[in-house]
A and B are shown apart, each in its own frame.
Chain A
């Protein structure tokens, strides 16, 4: 029993954080926000060169073969630096789905290799999300038709952009027609792939929400330490302190829930759905509170376009409902814990 990360995993996270700190500074994000596509080929190239697109790709396809547990750390960094959806969606969520296809499935190895080297953008259209993130710049879309999984080239779909308050999110309604040529899985296998994909998408979002919460907390701590009123830093006032202490507490208790969910997913545990939903709920809650308390302690500055807080806040508001909103995830938790004979209470945190 060891519910901690290895030194290697933690060192890797550190390295990713240092890389993104320079590559994805807030000024840079603002520039990208203002572009039509909302995407920067240059940032994308640097990220791929750093190997981040190859993390989930199996080793025999040119990747690093990292599991969900390592992604629980990675996604926090992606959230902390507000990296757009396209990276995690392709390098983690889509890579996971494609890697789970039977070896020998046409194009499987090709797609995985291209995810790893960053030369393909894949968007994922899971039915839980009414709109598809990054459908427009994608080369390939993974789309659902009932239980069927289709891999559809961008030219075969029509996309209609739908603007989000979070300018880092580029959402679209996708129109397409299923064809035999695009079908890659169906029936039981398709259903299992979509179920797993939903959990990966939710876990990825949960990790990003937690990273966003931490970022908003850090921004707020910096702000209240330097802003003065009544002759002292506002961070010395107890009402301000307590707002931020509450955020810190939420963030502290969300972390291990995220890690437990990642492990459940990586190990195909029967109770993984409820664990993932728990993580999504608790991380979303931490992020929303970090946003609310964050804007409060910033005063009017927090209500401006100019102060960076807004970018992280908007992303937190949006991601909270992505890959299953609260109602969806609460229903899954309820299904698990209100079921007859559910294994609850002391001693069931790691075993049925």
Chain B
């Protein structure tokens, strides 16, 4: 155990910090759940990419910087610590990206990854269907290979696809063997959202914005080259992606440490009212201890990975931990704000332009998306503790 950063790691931190100081947008960007905000975020991503800071852990040839996971943690600490914008393309970058690196052909990697790193291509996820939520193996959307084997014909519907109305591409699972059931006979496809036969209908989310969408496929032709991994192996390929999602990458600890720091500041500047509720101080302490525990766990995991360990079912503990922590922190902020908590961003009396309220709303979704926390508990019990199905 050696908890000192190397000179190289320190230099990298300093470089990222200096770049962010010089380049952070002067004004907060508009919400990326709006068209305007989405495009502002795309521009920001381009800037990051040009500085080779968009996907630091990807190989240089694919638009990354070849950093190891410790450097990635450092990058995230600087990024979130500086209050930099949310990462609009992260579902592609963090979920599809690693899958392509593991399962994609060389030509697919060259075709998709650099444009994903620069956010010229924005990606939406297409797993859920109206009747396949937690039970993702119930997917019925079909992708049938044409007689000449050149393309799939896709029919069916996906739903809850985050920011799909603004995105360029969708990746997800489709049933390529119509006679198959459950986990078998699924293929993993990348579908251009401007293809003929694709209809996208926005869904208004809790925050009133068109944050996700239904996507309908009506005889959509998808070239066979857009299949990632082997025909019928989609479930296996997707599980690798889901593992990454639940695991470290999607929610780096810095994000929660940043929220915890803001919460401590909020509490300190509102003690006159906050201390009337004796539970609040406790909850504030737990924000710091919780975020710190999550960060320590990440460093421990990264160290073990570097020594050859693999993330297994314990990734499911991560998902539960960060989503409950995030919720608890935002609930605490709402309790501190009291009667000002309900005010929306355009209300003149709103505190911090209602940032806590926005976060509180989104935190409600944390225990639901990326596999609900009940499903994660099932996974922990069955695969980590070995309890019977």
Taking beta carbons and an 8 Å cutoff, which residues of A are in contact with B? Answer: 1-6, 69, 217, 221, 224-225, 232-233, 235-236, 238, 240-242, 244-246, 248-249, 252-257, 259-260, 263, 267, 278, 281-282, 330, 333-334, 337-338, 342, 344-351
B26 to chain A, nearest CB (A): 21
Q: Could you say which residues of chain A place their CB within 8 Å of the CB of B76?
A: 346
A337 to chain B, nearest CB (A): 5
Q: Does any Cβ of A come within 8 Å of B296's Cβ?
A: yes
Contact of A257 among B253, B261, B292, B304 (CB under 8 A): B292
User: Which of B32-40, B175-183, B333-341, B381-389 is the contact stretch?
Assistant: B381-389
Expressed in whole angstroms, the Cα–Cα distance for A194 and B4 within the complex equals 28
Expressed in whole angstroms, the Cα–Cα distance for A349 and B291 within the complex equals 10
Q: How many A-B residue pairs lie within 8 Å, measured between CB atoms?
A: 168
Top 5 A-B pairs ranked by shortest CB distance? A345-B261, A241-B381, A256-B296, A4-B303, A346-B77
Could you pull out 20 A-B pairs where Cβ atoms are within 8 angstroms?
Answer: A1-B4, A2-B1, A3-B3, A3-B303, A4-B303, A221-B385, A240-B387, A241-B377, A245-B378, A248-B384, A252-B321, A259-B296, A282-B289, A338-B267, A344-B264, A344-B288, A346-B78, A346-B295, A347-B77, A350-B3
B288 touches A349 (CB 8 A): no
Expressed in whole angstroms, the Cα–Cα distance for A342 and B260 within the complex equals 13
Q: Does any Cβ of A come within 8 Å of B81's Cβ?
A: yes
Taking beta carbons and an 8 Å cutoff, which residues of B are in contact with A? Answer: 1-6, 9, 13, 70, 74, 76-78, 80-81, 253-254, 257-258, 260-261, 264, 267-268, 281-282, 285, 288-289, 292-297, 299-300, 302-304, 306-307, 314, 317, 320-321, 374, 376-378, 380-382, 384-389
Interface of A is mostly: helix
Query: Given A2-B1, A241-B378, A242-B377: A349 and B264 within 8 A (CB)?
Result: no
Q: Could you say which residues of chain B place their CB within 8 Å of the CB of A337?
A: 264, 285, 288
Name which residue of chain A comes closest to B285, CB basis. Answer: A333
Contact of B81 among A6, A245, A267, A347 (CB under 8 A): A347
Most buried by B among A69, A235, A244, A249: A249
A252 touches B386 (CB 8 A): no
B260 touches A345 (CB 8 A): yes
Expressed in whole angstroms, the Cα–Cα distance for A330 and B257 within the complex equals 19
Contact of A249 among B268, B302, B307, B380 (CB under 8 A): B380
Q: Could you say which residues of chain B place their CB within 8 Å of the CB of A255?
A: 297, 300
A287 to chain B, nearest CB (A): 15
Q: Could you say which residues of chain B place their CB within 8 Å of the CB of A248?
A: 317, 380-381, 384-385
Expressed in whole angstroms, the Cα–Cα distance for A253 and B292 within the complex equals 10
Q: Contacts A253-B297, A349-B295, A350-B5 given; 16 further ones with Cβ under 8 A?
A: A2-B1, A2-B2, A3-B300, A4-B300, A5-B1, A233-B387, A233-B388, A238-B374, A241-B382, A255-B300, A256-B297, A282-B289, A337-B288, A346-B253, A349-B257, A350-B299
Most buried by B among A232, A334, A337: A337
Expressed in whole angstroms, the Cα–Cα distance for A260 and B303 within the complex equals 13
Expressed in whole angstroms, the Cα–Cα distance for A99 and B94 within the complex equals 50
Contact of A346 among B80, B268, B306 (CB under 8 A): B80
A253 touches B293 (CB 8 A): yes
B303 touches A245 (CB 8 A): no
B190 to chain A, nearest CB (A): 33
Q: Could you say which residues of chain A place their CB within 8 Å of the CB of B292?
A: 257, 278, 349
Q: Could you say which residues of chain A place their CB within 8 Å of the CB of B267?
A: 338
A116 to chain B, nearest CB (A): 24
B385 touches A259 (CB 8 A): no
Expressed in whole angstroms, the Cα–Cα distance for A209 and B283 within the complex equals 22
Most buried by A among B267, B282, B300, B303: B300
B109 to chain A, nearest CB (A): 29
B303 touches A2 (CB 8 A): yes
Q: Could you say which residues of chain A place their CB within 8 Å of the CB of B381?
A: 235, 241-242, 244-245, 248
Q: Could you say which residues of chain A place their CB within 8 Å of the CB of B386?
A: 221, 225
Query: Given A241-B381, A248-B384, A330-B282: A254 and B293 within 8 A (CB)?
Result: yes
Most buried by B among A240, A256, A259, A333: A256
B374 touches A242 (CB 8 A): yes
Expressed in whole angstroms, the Cα–Cα distance for A254 and B294 within the complex equals 9
Q: Could you say which residues of chain B place their CB within 8 Å of the CB of A254?
A: 293
Query: Given A221-B385, A330-B282: A259 and B288 within 8 A (CB)?
Result: no
